[in-house]
């Protein structure tokens, strides 16, 4: 505490009256008071006789009084820490002092406000005691024996040992003894500071019991600053079985006399109980009695063990230093404490956040000294300074936060501006969003919008490229059909449909697909997709000319018959000779799959019956919608189950599919048409009559004579792959349909990838969709498969066309380039912005310099252009001096004229900017 003997008494006493009395009492011992032989003996034993007068001046007349003094007081007298320590032990072990029956605690006297009260004069019943103390409020109600807790300051050493023992024997007999036994030297110097006692339990007749520590226990205490944590530990240990708190309602009745609770920690440290220790033990004992408590023997052991361990570490004096602050009881309700004990088993006192960050602290009352007050002054000052700095920092933070929040709530007012003054951008982003402002303010362009916007630019470039291609086709390395055939997985054909007028007019679309070669005497096998793009600056157009090679590429002008003859007829013939063949239509929605397969069916129907009466055929048509399979040959469209054939691995059939036996080509075509009519279609953005399902027509051929199967032809019309824009305005069901279509086509592509890589498709790839299940036999190597990829030529369909071409190319060549294209040429077009503006002469390219010179003055300077090096740029041109010009032109007059014209052009360009 750092206060002197008397000041400590004043500071630590709970009420002013008792404090004054205590001070007076302490100071009433005259230095020339008759010397106590025991005191003299004690001081002699420690070589401290010389200090006797000083000690007497401090009010010490017997050994027990030593315990009333602060360590600082003893140091002032001239005692070293070691001597104080030894003295402390001696006093604590002095049995003679304890056994003095006549001894009355000076503290008690002080507390009671009398200078000398003999034990006989003390109240003998709780009620008397309460009335005697003068600070007890009458308790109304049933339990009138309970009083407001009283601070009792009688010293243990003043209490006869027999009385304490009696209290043990019979708690109800001697409440006062119990008080005495539990009384502490509270408020009397540092030795005893803070040790006050709850007398309520003993006053109420329940307490009086206390534990006496066996003699011989070590009595060292740790240094003060080390004991803060220990306080809590010991308190918890003591609290396990009992609460030393009195019923809260007692203390709450009189807040003005709120009792300061005696910390249990005070029990620690001395072998033969010093007053505070006994007081606290009495407290515990009383509280246990009050709560129907248990034996404290275990806790005693714990404390002893701790004291032992601390003893080995402690080096400073721990004579009777108070560590815990006094606790104001009204804040704690008895039942709460009881519950806390039951639940956690430890906390007697509710903890609060330690202001110094030293962990949980006991819950102290408002008028109780803060825990830091118990620390040494130097430590306390340090902590207080630190806390002050923290508080200042916190207040600074709070004020800055408040400023910010006020700014947010009420932004600074601005004078309203007129409409004309208003900025074009009204929304201002601040803070983190400002980072995205650039992106937000930047206009986002759609690829197709850019294509359409610069249609003329791109079509010109494509036309020039096509013209150039006509000349250089021979230079382009084209794999011969025979070379391709050797590595063929399947036959892949590409059919380009014409660009519809409405696409050109409405969407400003243009044709970006070129089929090569264009000569009539060789069949086209290449297709070039002109992918028109803009570079990242959105100013420089660029065209990627992607070239793909296929077995045959059908231009938009070719007839259906031509397509059939080149892509399907061979398979029809092959089927008639006993082979299994499949023609698969693949492509984006609206690209002409149905259109093409319709023509093939019609033409194949005739071819199939050409063989006369030798063959008969059956037809089944099923529709795959998602994972469902429906029979298209029956009007009610029954759903069919896909069953895996046992005899053949990864072969599925639509079980129970209806089979027709058309006898004539017309019957067959009529059956095809009927099935197509039943097929689910709907109008989409890309196609007015878009197929929303996959259709599989299976034609099985039989020998009429024996009925044995001759061959088969499977015609598959896939639903078109869709992009988001194709289904942007679709209903939820339609979008779901589109998702299922894309999923099944994705499964088909996976099978195709397997085919191109290792030929054998694993079963799990077939099982991924109903489409691949039914196509499993067709995708096997024994079956001849022709895939006709249909593509739309519109620039807005570029991405989709590219995907189709890549899939087809992958399918065609085993181990082909992963992306499918065999050649890519990138053509960067002139920057659209620089073209619109007049280029500054220094930006001219060598060609532009040549052109300018050639055209200047009607060709008057054409000879100059030929004399310049080919890499002569505009940058070099603008640096020409007059002398250079004269030199180049060969005459002074022409030279000066050239110089003037050049600088006229430069000035004109500067002015135009």
Ligand X SMILES: Nc1ncnc2c1ncn2[C@@H]1O[C@H](COP(=O)(O)OP(=O)(O)OP(=O)(O)O)[C@@H](O)[C@H]1O
Q: Candidates 180-188, 352-360, 463-471, 682-690: pick the segment binding ligand X (CB under 6 A).
A: 682-690
The answer to whether 471 is annotated as binding is no
Query: Closest separation between CB of residue 868 and ligand X, Å?
Result: 53
Query: Closest separation between CB of residue 455 and ligand X, Å?
Result: 21
Q: Candidates 92-100, 303-311, 332-340, 589-597: pick the segment binding ligand X (CB under 6 A).
A: 589-597
Q: How far is CA 147 from CA 9, 201, 326, 683, in A?
A: 25, 9, 19, 94
For the four alpha carbons of 756, 758, 760 and 764, in that order, the dihedral sign comes to: negative
Does an H or E element contain 554, and which?
A: strand 552-554
* DSSP H stretches of helix in 521-663: 560-563, 569-576, 593-610
Cβ closest to ligand X, residue 39 vs residue 745: 745
The answer to whether 113 is annotated as binding is no
Q: Candidates 423-431, 450-458, 506-514, 591-599: pick the segment binding ligand X (CB under 6 A).
A: 591-599
Taking CB under 6 A as the rule, does residue 589 contact ligand X?
A: yes
Cβ closest to ligand X, residue 320 vs residue 551: 551
Report how far residue 554's alpha carbon sits from residue 210's, in angstroms, rounded to the nearest whole number: 110
Cβ closest to ligand X, residue 44 vs residue 561: 561
Among 689, 817, 857, 900, the residue binding ligand X under the rule CB under 6 A is 689
Taking CB under 6 A as the rule, does residue 594 contact ligand X?
A: yes
Beta bridge partners of 826: 544
β pairing state of 784-791 and 580-587: parallel
Taking CB under 6 A as the rule, does residue 498 contact ligand X?
A: yes
End-to-end CA distance of the chain: 86
Does an H or E element contain 532, and which?
A: strand 526-534
Query: Closest separation between CB of residue 453 and ligand X, Å?
Result: 26
Beta bridge partners of 813: 488
Among 132, 593, 812, 840, the residue binding ligand X under the rule CB under 6 A is 593
Report how far residue 756's alpha carbon sits from residue 760's, in angstroms, rounded to the nearest whole number: 9
The answer to whether 24 is annotated as binding is no
Cβ closest to ligand X, residue 432 vs residue 501: 501
Taking CB under 6 A as the rule, does residue 590 contact ligand X?
A: yes
Cβ closest to ligand X, residue 262 vs residue 802: 802
Cβ closest to ligand X, residue 605 vs residue 719: 719
- Footprint of ligand X on 743-802 (CB under 6 A): 790
Q: Candidates 79-87, 252-260, 586-594, 774-782: pick the segment binding ligand X (CB under 6 A).
A: 586-594
Q: Candidates 472-480, 689-697, 839-847, 868-876: pick the segment binding ligand X (CB under 6 A).
A: 689-697
β pairing state of 513-516 and 526-534: antiparallel
Q: Give the three-state DSSP class for 813.
A: strand
List all residues 6 or more positions away from 76 whose beta carbon is below 8 Å from its beta carbon.
Answer: none
Report how far residue 321's alpha carbon sits from residue 324's, in angstroms, rounded to the nearest whole number: 9
Q: Candidates 198-206, 593-601, 729-737, 753-761: pick the segment binding ligand X (CB under 6 A).
A: 593-601
List all residues 6 or more positions away from 815 whose beta carbon is below 8 Å from its beta carbon.
Answer: 487, 756, 757
Q: Give the three-state DSSP class for 57.
A: helix
Report how far residue 909's alpha carbon sits from residue 877's, in angstroms, rounded to the nearest whole number: 14
- The number of residues that bind ligand X (CB under 6 A) is 17
Cβ closest to ligand X, residue 491 vs residue 722: 722
Which two structure tokens, joined as six digits, stand for 593? Answer: 């799959």
The answer to whether 185 is annotated as binding is no
Query: Closest separation between CB of residue 814 and ligand X, Å?
Result: 27
Cβ closest to ligand X, residue 413 vs residue 724: 724
Only one residue has tokens 């030798």, namely 614
Only one residue has tokens 């060609």, namely 847
Residue 732 backbone dihedrals phi, psi, to 5 degrees: -65, -40
Q: Candidates 264-272, 289-297, 683-691, 856-864: pick the segment binding ligand X (CB under 6 A).
A: 683-691
Cβ closest to ligand X, residue 403 vs residue 688: 688
CB 452 within 8 A of CB 509: yes
CB 570 within 8 A of CB 555: no
Query: Closest separation between CB of residue 621 and ligand X, Å?
Result: 16
Cβ closest to ligand X, residue 209 vs residue 496: 496
Cβ closest to ligand X, residue 689 vs residue 703: 689
List all residues 6 or more positions away from 767 whose beta carbon is below 8 Å from its beta carbon.
Answer: 773
Query: Closest separation between CB of residue 501 and ligand X, Å?
Result: 12
Q: Candidates 183-191, 283-291, 584-592, 872-880: pick the segment binding ligand X (CB under 6 A).
A: 584-592
Taking each helix axis as running N to C, give the angle between helix 732-758 and helix 798-812, from 0 to 180 degrees, rounded to the nearest 10: 30
Q: Candidates 91-99, 518-526, 686-694, 892-900: pick the segment binding ligand X (CB under 6 A).
A: 686-694
Query: Closest separation between CB of residue 811 and ligand X, Å?
Result: 18
Cβ closest to ligand X, residue 89 vs residue 734: 734
Cβ closest to ligand X, residue 357 vs residue 498: 498
Q: Candidates 302-310, 583-591, 693-701, 775-783: pick the segment binding ligand X (CB under 6 A).
A: 583-591
CB 197 within 8 A of CB 183: yes
Query: Closest separation between CB of residue 591 and ligand X, Å?
Result: 4
CB 660 within 8 A of CB 618: yes
Buried/exposed 104-131: b ≥16 CB within 10 Å, e otherwise:
bbbbbbbbbbeeebebeebbeebbebbe
The answer to whether 589 is annotated as binding is yes
Which two structure tokens, joined as six digits, stand for 517? Answer: 């070669």
List all residues 6 or more positions away from 882 whose beta carbon is below 8 Å from its beta carbon.
Answer: 895, 896, 899
Cβ closest to ligand X, residue 804 vs residue 865: 804
β pairing state of 823-828 and 526-534: unpaired
Q: Estimate to the nearest angstrom the gap between the alpha carbon of 65 and the chain centroid.
A: 66
CB 515 within 8 A of CB 526: yes
Query: Closest separation between CB of residue 803 and ligand X, Å?
Result: 14
Q: Candidates 299-307, 440-448, 504-512, 685-693: pick the segment binding ligand X (CB under 6 A).
A: 685-693
For the four alpha carbons of 777, 780, 785 and 790, in that order, the dihedral sign comes to: positive
Binding mask 263-292 for ligand X (x = CB under 6 A): ------------------------------
Only one residue has tokens 């519809």, namely 500
Query: Closest separation between CB of residue 794 and ligand X, Å?
Result: 12
Query: Closest separation between CB of residue 708 and ligand X, Å?
Result: 35
The answer to whether 588 is annotated as binding is yes
Query: Closest separation between CB of residue 464 and ligand X, Å?
Result: 27
Buried/exposed 567-595: b ≥16 CB within 10 Å, e otherwise:
bbbebbbbbbeebbbbbbbbbbbbbbbbb
Among 29, 236, 261, 497, the residue binding ligand X under the rule CB under 6 A is 497
Cβ closest to ligand X, residue 497 vs residue 749: 497
Taking CB under 6 A as the rule, does residue 687 contact ligand X?
A: yes
Among 316, 591, 620, 714, the residue binding ligand X under the rule CB under 6 A is 591
Among 59, 592, 662, 841, the residue binding ligand X under the rule CB under 6 A is 592
Taking CB under 6 A as the rule, does residue 720 contact ligand X?
A: yes
The answer to whether 593 is annotated as binding is yes
Report how far residue 466's alpha carbon sits from residue 460's, in angstroms, rounded to the nearest whole number: 10
Among 275, 347, 541, 587, the residue binding ligand X under the rule CB under 6 A is 587
- Footprint of ligand X on 603-642 (CB under 6 A): none
Beta bridge partners of 362: 351
Beta bridge partners of 644: 652
For the four alpha carbons of 468, 469, 475 and 476, in that order, the dihedral sign comes to: positive
Footprint of ligand X on this chain (CB under 6 A)? 497-498, 587, 589-595, 687, 689-691, 719-720, 790
Q: Residues comprising the binding site for ATP?
A: 587-594
Which residues make up each annotated binding site? 587-594
């Amino acid at each position: 505490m750092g206060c002197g003997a008397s000041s400590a008494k004043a500071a630590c006493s709970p009420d002013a009256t008792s404090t004054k009395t205590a001070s007076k009492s302490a100071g009433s011992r005259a230095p020339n008071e008759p010397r106590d032989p025991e005191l003299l003996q004690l001081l002699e034993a420690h070589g401290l006789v010389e200090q006797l007068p000083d000690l007497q001046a401090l009010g010490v007349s017997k050994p027990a009084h030593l315990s009333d003094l602060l360590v600082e007081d003893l140091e002032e007298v001239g005692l070293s820490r070691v001597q104080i320590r030894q003295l402390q032990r001696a006093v604590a072990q002095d049995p003679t002092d304890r056994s003095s029956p006549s001894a009355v605690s000076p503290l008690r006297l002080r507390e009671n406000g009398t200078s000398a009260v003999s034990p006989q004069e003390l109240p003998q019943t709780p009620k008397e005691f309460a009335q005697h103390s003068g600070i007890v409020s009458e308790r109304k109600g049933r339990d009138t024996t309970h009083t407001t807790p009283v601070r009792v300051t009688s010293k243990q050493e003043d209490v006869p040992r027999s009385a304490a023992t009696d209290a043990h024997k019979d708690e109800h007999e001697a409440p006062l003894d119990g008080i005495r036994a539990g009384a502490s030297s509270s408020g009397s110097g540092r030795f005893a500071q803070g040790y006050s006692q709850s007398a309520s339990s003993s006053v109420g007749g329940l307490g009086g019991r206390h534990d006496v520590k066996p003699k011989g226990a070590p009595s060292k205490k740790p240094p003060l600053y080390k004991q803060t944590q220990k306080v809590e530990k010991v308190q918890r240990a003591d609290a396990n079985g009992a609460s030393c708190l009195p019923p809260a309602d007692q203390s709450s009745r009189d807040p003005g006399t709120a009792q300061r609770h005696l910390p249990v920690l005070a029990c620690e440290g001395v072998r033969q109980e010093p007053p505070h220790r006994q007081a606290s033990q009495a407290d515990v004992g009383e509280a246990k009695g009050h709560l129907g408590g248990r034996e404290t023997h275990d806790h005693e052991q714990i404390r002893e063990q701790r004291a032992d361990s601390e003893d080995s570490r402690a080096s400073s004096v721990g004579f009777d230093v108070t560590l815990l602050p006094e606790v104001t009881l009204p804040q704690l309700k008895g039942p709460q404490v009881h519950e806390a004990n039951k639940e956690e088993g430890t906390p007697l006192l509710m903890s609060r956040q330690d202001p110094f960050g030293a962990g949980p602290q006991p819950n102290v009352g408002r008028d109780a000294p803060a825990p830091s007050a118990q620390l040494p002054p130097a430590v306390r000052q340090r902590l207080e300074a630190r806390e002050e700095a923290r508080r200042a920092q916190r207040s600074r933070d709070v004020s800055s936060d408040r400023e910010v929040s006020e700014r947010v709530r009420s932004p600074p007012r601005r004078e309203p501006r007129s409409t004309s003054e208003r900025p074009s951008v009204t929304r201002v982003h601040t803070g983190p969003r400002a980072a995205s402002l650039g992106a937000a303010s930047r206009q986002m362009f759609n690829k197709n919008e850019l294509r359409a916007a610069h249609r003329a630019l791109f079509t010109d470039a494509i036309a020039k490229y096509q013209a150039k291609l006509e000349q250089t086709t021979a230079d382009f390395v084209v794999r011969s059909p025979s070379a391709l055939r050797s590595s063929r997985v399947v036959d892949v054909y590409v059919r380009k449909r014409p660009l519809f007028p409405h696409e050109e007019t409405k969407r400003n679309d243009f044709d970006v697909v070129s089929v090569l070669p264009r000569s009539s005497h060789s069949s086209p096998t290449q297709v070039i997709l002109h992918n028109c793009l803009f570079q990242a600056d959105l100013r420089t157009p660029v065209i990627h000319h992607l070239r793909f090679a296929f077995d045959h590429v059908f231009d938009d002008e070719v007839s259906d018959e031509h397509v059939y003859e080149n892509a399907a007829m061979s398979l029809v013939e092959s089927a008639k000779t006993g082979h299994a063949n499949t023609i698969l239509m693949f492509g984006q929605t609206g690209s002409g799959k149905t259109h093409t397969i319709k023509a093939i069916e019609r033409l194949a129907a005739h071819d199939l019956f050409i063989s006369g009466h030798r063959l008969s055929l059956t037809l089944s048509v099923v529709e795959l919608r998602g994972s469902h399979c429906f029979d298209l040959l029956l009007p009610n469209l029954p759903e069919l189950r896909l069953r895996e054939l046992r005899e053949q691995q990864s072969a599925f059939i639509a079980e129970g599919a209806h089979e027709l036996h058309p006898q004539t080509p017309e019957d067959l075509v009529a059956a095809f048409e009927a099935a197509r009519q039943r097929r689910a279609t709907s109008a989409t953005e890309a196609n007015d009559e878009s197929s929303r399902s996959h259709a599989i027509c299976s034609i099985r051929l039989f020998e009429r004579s024996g009925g044995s199967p001759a061959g088969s032809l499977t015609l598959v019309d896939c639903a078109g792959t869709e992009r988001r824009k194709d289904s942007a305005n679709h209903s939820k069901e339609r979008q779901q349909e589109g998702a299922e279509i894309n999923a099944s086509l994705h499964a088909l592509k996976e099978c195709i990838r397997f085919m191109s890589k290792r030929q054998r498709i694993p079963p799990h790839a077939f099982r991924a969709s109903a489409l691949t299940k039914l196509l499993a036999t067709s995708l096997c190597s024994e079956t001849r498969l022709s895939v006709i990829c249909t593509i739309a030529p519109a620039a807005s369909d570029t991405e989709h066309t590219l995907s189709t071409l890549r899939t087809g190319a992958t399918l065609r060549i085993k181990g082909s380039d992963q992306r499918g294209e065999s050649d890519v040429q990138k053509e960067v077009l002139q920057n659209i912005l620089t073209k619109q503006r007049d280029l500054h002469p220094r930006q001219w390219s060598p060609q532009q310099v040549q052109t300018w010179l050639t055209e200047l003055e009607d060709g008057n300077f054409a000879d100059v252009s030929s004399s310049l090096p080919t890499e002569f740029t505009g940058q070099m041109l603008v640096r020409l001096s007059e002398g250079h010009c004269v030199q180049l032109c060969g005459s002074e007059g022409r030279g000066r004229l050239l110089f003037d014209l050049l600088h006229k052009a430069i000035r004109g360009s500067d002015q135009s900017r």
